[in-house]
Structure 1
């Protein structure tokens, strides 16, 4: 089978690193005819002396493209727009068949993995962080944690920082709103409490004023009633005083009611003694009827006046009597004179009071009850 005569072979240095002696300054450029002859021959053409800058740069560029595809996960559509690469259809050998290069390139499974990775040009990862605002918000129950998604590629840092800044700004705004709401609520509660306290004080003052007013009115009413009673009593006593009279105009009290002593047979005094000179006129204390007038043993000469209510007034130890039994007398009328008859030690009027004709009572108290001054 005919074929193109190959050029003399020499050790191939794919990257010109000095693996073999340098080739002469000649180069072989494949043409359409030479390539067609090779295709007809069915053989595989190995370019040995392809040392041109174009060939070397094409090979290196192909390796760079494959490496770029393998690292495609690090590039993002946001940071680096895709670059269109065009190569002439030179029917170059597969890069994996190049000596010293195939071992550096990824296998078929790795290329499929790279292709799958390139299906998503923007691989993202979820990053969670907690800020000071989040900590404050967590304590106040407003915000618990901020979660955001950023790109893994280094070029996404600016976008992540912008998102982080927006979230922090939003958290600060929420915290500020919460603080303002809390402050407003506290101020409202304080105002309501102050208003309630002021109202309570006003109610207490009003209640105290009402109680004081009621107390003053009660006291004034009681005072007025007491004054009215005192006035009525004074009027009553004045009327009584006008209708009653003291038995003597001038006297000295020498013995009181129930006073004890050996001078009295009963061991105590049963009346009230008014000492006065013999012959001093004696007056009727009130209008009455003379029940009796005469001698009465130890009482000497005695006159008994009976009042309308049945009370008996006894005048004892008289020196003389000017009325007789059954006679009616008026208040202040002279009925006899002071003397020293009966069981006495000196001239005086012994006066006794017997309500209803029964046992005697204190004459001084009875006279006072009639408005008289003893």
Structure 2
């Protein structure tokens, strides 16, 4: 590389005017080559301190580091511009000491960084950026890798949150569907239970009706109508002046005189004979204490204390006593003496009146 034009050499003996310009002074310039023996060690705060990796913390080293950092950061855009050579005149460059011999500086210089002649000044400063290019690229790649990792982590978290939201929505939908299905099942169960209860009640009612019919059938076998070939002319409770109580106390079976009168149930004849307005009357006491009165008979076929059975003839239809025509006046009384509706009582025993 071509160097700048060397400056003219000055003689070793020159005259200079002193500070006040009074009289010239002659100074001799001599060549000085510093060596390890002639250079005093640096002391104080500029003393070179050995650190890990062999680097020193002197002002010179820090200056070099700053220059390297500036070159690495691209603040001077050294990478975008061609290298600039810095050289000194040959008269000065030839007299410079070897950089490796300088204390604190030689340890920073490597064999590869200097040329074969050991002239460090021949290399451009921008060459220092070459050592940092790979580091910058590595830092860029590292930053890109870190950004990609952060992006991947953010995407992963977003996907995880979306998955959790989807899972929660799915769980809520499944819960709602389960609740709806449970409500529908409960509704169906309630309807089924109501239907079963209705069917049960209907069955019980039918069974009760059947049982009542069977009971009435059995009673009908043990009970009988008091006469046959009759016509109902007056019922229980009818009002009128022809009755001394003001209302009819029995049930009238109109039939021809002499029609047989039968015992409605097994019992004992309590009384038989004349009874005023009732004419000839027979009182039959049943096993439960109920009394059946037969009035207006034309004749009586039993006597007091006699046992009779269902359907046995106990007298004949007549028109004795207070009557307007032949008929059987039938009355029913409880053990306490209260009068009952004979038609309802007979029907309660399974008989059709």
**Runs (5+) with no aligned partner, structure 1:** 1-28, 45-71, 92-117, 123-157
**Runs (5+) with no aligned partner, structure 2:** 1-6, 18-66, 93-124, 130-136
The residue number in structure 2 matching 1:280 is 259
Aligned pairs (5 A) from 1:1-374: 30=8, 35-36=10-11, 39-43=12-16, 76-79=71-74, 80=78, 83-88=84-89, 90=91, 173-356=152-335, 358-374=337-353
Give the Cα separation in 1 of the matches to 2:334 and 2:73.
132
Give the Cα separation in 1 of the matches to 2:166 and 2:350.
75
Moved more, 347-356 or 165-174: 165-174
How far off its partner does 1:298 sit?
A: 0.7
Distance 1:210 1:350, change over 3 A: same
Give the Cα separation in 2 of the matches to 1:165 and 1:284.
122
How far off its partner does 1:209 sit?
A: 3.9
The residue number in structure 2 matching 1:63 is none
The residue number in structure 2 matching 1:103 is none
Superimposed CA distance per residue, residues 157-183 of structure 1 (whole angstroms, 9 cap, x where no aligned partner)? x99999998787666545543442332
Distance 1:280 1:357, change over 3 A: farther
The residue number in structure 2 matching 1:61 is none
- Aligned residue for 1:254, secondary structure, equals strand
Q: Given that residues 283 and 333 in structure 1 are in contact (C-alpha distance below 8 angstroms), is that contact kept between their aligned partners in structure 2?
A: yes
Give the Cα separation in 2 of the matches to 1:244 and 1:339.
23
Runs of 4+ with deviation above 6 angstroms = 158-168
- Aligned residue for 1:42, secondary structure, equals strand
Q: Given that residues 291 and 306 in structure 1 are in contact (C-alpha distance below 8 angstroms), is that contact kept between their aligned partners in structure 2?
A: yes
Superimposed CA distance per residue, residues 3-45 of structure 1 (whole angstroms, 9 cap, x where no aligned partner)? xxxxxxxxxxxxxxxxxxxxxxxxxx946xxx32xx323337x
TM-score, normalization by structure 2? 0.61
Distance 1:41 1:286, change over 3 A: closer
The residue number in structure 1 matching 2:120 is none
How far off its partner does 1:264 sit?
A: 0.8
Give the Cα separation in 2 of the matches to 1:220 and 1:261.
49
TM-score, normalization by structure 1? 0.58
Give the Cα separation in 2 of the matches to 1:30 and 1:233.
154
- Aligned residue for 2:347, secondary structure, equals helix
Q: Given that residues 261 and 268 in structure 1 are in contact (C-alpha distance below 8 angstroms), is that contact kept between their aligned partners in structure 2?
A: yes
